[in-house]
Amino acid sequence: MNPLGLYIDFPFCIARCAFCAFNVQGYREGISERYRLALHKELAIHDLLDTCNGREVVSLYLGGGTPTLYPPHVVNEIVSSCRSGFRFHASAEITIEAHPATINSANLRGLRESGINRLSMGVQSFSDEYLTLLGRNHTAQEAVDAFNAAREAGFSNIGIDLIYGLPDLLLGEWEKTLQSTIDLDPEHISIYALSIEEGTLFHKKGVALPSEEEQVSQYQLAQKMLFDAGFQQYEISNFAREGYASVHNLLYWNRAETLGIGVSAHSYLNNEHKENTASIPLYCEQVEAGHIPTERTTQVSNEEAATDRIIFGLRKREGITNTDLHSLKKHEQTATVLIKNGLLVAEGDRICLTPRGMLLADQVATAFF
Ligand code: SF4
């Protein structure tokens, strides 16, 4: 039976960060309560329809948004609904995204008691100046305190997310953020390049990104510092202590099946890609009426699935197998050109990105399209 990743979306935040283009809104009592009930209802509908046909959940990811805005007993009930509607692997990874300003010893203990065994903390920077610029609503010290409180509450698998390529970010400042992160000794670190998306405050303000050369220097500095500190890079943006690569992320990159619950959630099941409606009121209405709130369904052909396996698989440090590559003739030709141009390398029966290919991963993906 195929492994399954389950994702639950909580689309509420304290306030919108200056760089964020996600489908989120401010946390308000009325709508957040209606949404909570709708999540339970959507889970019950999938249970009734047996959407997942006995597949085994190896990862549950509570993301958004800021799920930690809900009290732990609410999160606990959602996890329980998932457990009663789906078959869980005994050691399933259960992750919750946590904003440092929303966690403390008391709610962290409650979350741990819910069976959540992994915390993904969006910290983004350990510079108060940059945290203000990003509109993050917490200080660097509050992030450190939140991390320590999570350890005390029993979390032994904590990830920290950082952003590089910030406007005017000096290499020395980025080095300090990386060092502060390493000093906390998390199990997992993600580094994402800032991109300016339409509809964000950064876009409205016309904020400019640093030069490509500066972004590359920051990325390479992170690779070096994290490698020296004993982290393994297992994907373009992700580093982990041995044995702590994110199960959930790997499901996406391996194009495994996933079921998304909640507003804007995506699913990939039975060769179909589905997307739930992005409107919170419409989501609630449809679910309350007993319908799955699908807005779009796309059939994924065998050729598209093979292309996806290559594009997503190449994001991983271990790359793809020759079998994946040889599934389509045109991809073999593309790979030959990319190897010649120094963006891919053949290692035994695997093909992976070179260090330069990692920096140009989007261009590599485009080539396969
Ligand atoms: S906390 Fe995360 S999801 Fe919420 S606005 Fe900020 S970046 Fe977006």
Map out the domains of the chain as residue ranges. Answer: 3-253, 318-368
> What's the pLDDT tens digit per position in 66-103?
999 999 999 999 999 999 999 999 999 999 999 999 99
Residue 99 Cβ contacting ligand 1 at under 6 Å:
yes
Element (H, E) at 73: helix 72-85
pLDDT of residue 229: 98
Residue 13 Cβ contacting ligand 1 at under 6 Å:
yes
Residue 150 Cβ contacting ligand 1 at under 6 Å:
no
From 17, 69, 97, 190, mutation site for ligand 1 pocket: most ligand atoms within 8 A of C-beta = 17
Residue 6 Cβ contacting ligand 1 at under 6 Å:
no
> What's the pLDDT tens digit per position in 103-148?
999 999 999 999 999 999 999 999 999 999 999 999 999 999 999 9
Q: How many CA atoms lie within 13 Å of 331's alpha carbon, on the beta-carbon side? A: 23
Question: C-alpha angle with apex 267: 34 to 195, nearest 5 degrees?
Answer: 90
> What's the pLDDT tens digit per position in 205-228?
999 999 989 999 999 999 999 999
**Nearest CA to 97 among 185, 194, 10?**
10
**What is the whole-number distance in angstroms between the Cα of residue 277 and the centre of ligand 1?**
19
Under the banding of pLDDT at 50, 70 and 90, the label for residue 324 is confident
Residue 222 Cβ contacting ligand 1 at under 6 Å:
no
Residue 11 Cβ contacting ligand 1 at under 6 Å:
no
Closest Cα to atom 2 of ligand 1: 65
pLDDT of residue 41: 98
Rounded to the nearest integer, the mean pLDDT of the chain is 95
Residue 63 Cβ contacting ligand 1 at under 6 Å:
no
pTM for this model (two decimals): 0.95
CA distance 23 to 103: 22
Which stretches of 234-328 are DSSP H helices? Answer: 247-253, 280-288, 302-313, 322-325
Residue 192 Cβ contacting ligand 1 at under 6 Å:
no
> What's the pLDDT tens digit per position in 335-363?
999 999 999 999 888 999 998 899 888 88
Residue 226 Cβ contacting ligand 1 at under 6 Å:
no
Closest Cα to atom 8 of ligand 1: 20
CATH class of the region 3-253? alpha beta
**What is the whole-number distance in angstroms between the Cα of residue 66 and the centre of ligand 1?**
7
Residue 66 Cβ contacting ligand 1 at under 6 Å:
yes
pLDDT of residue 255 exceeding 90, the answer is: yes
pLDDT of residue 355: 86
**What is the whole-number distance in angstroms between the Cα of residue 241 and the centre of ligand 1?**
26
**What is the whole-number distance in angstroms between the Cα of residue 64 and the centre of ligand 1?**
8
